Amino acid sequence: MRKKYWKILGSILALPLGIFIFIYGGYDDSPGAQLLGFIIFGSGVVGLIRSRKKSV
C-alpha cells in the first residue's frame, strides 16, 4: 500500500521538475535539456494516469 503512495508522489513531483528543466533548457538554449524536461514531465503524467486507472 505504501509503495503506491510513493509512486503517486514521485509522479506528482516529476511534473514541476520536468517543467523547470524544460524552461531552464530553453533559457540556456539547450535542446537536450528541453527534451529531458519533456520526458520527465511526460513520465509524470503517464504515472498519474496509470495509478488512477489501477485505483478505479
**What is the predicted pLDDT for the residue at 55?**
65
* Owner of C-alpha cell 528543466: 21
d(CA 37, CA 39): 5
- Residue 53, C-alpha cell as written in the block: 486507472
**What is the predicted pLDDT for the residue at 56?**
62
d(CA 56, CA 6): 18
Q: Which portions of the chain are predicted below pLDDT 50?
A: none
User: Using alpha carbons only, what angle is made at residue 17 by residues 13 and 21, rounded to the nearest 5 degrees?
Assistant: 170
**What is the predicted pLDDT for the residue at 36?**
96
Q: Which of 55, 47, 53, 54 is nearest to 7 (CA)?
A: 47
**pTM of the predicted protein model:** 0.86
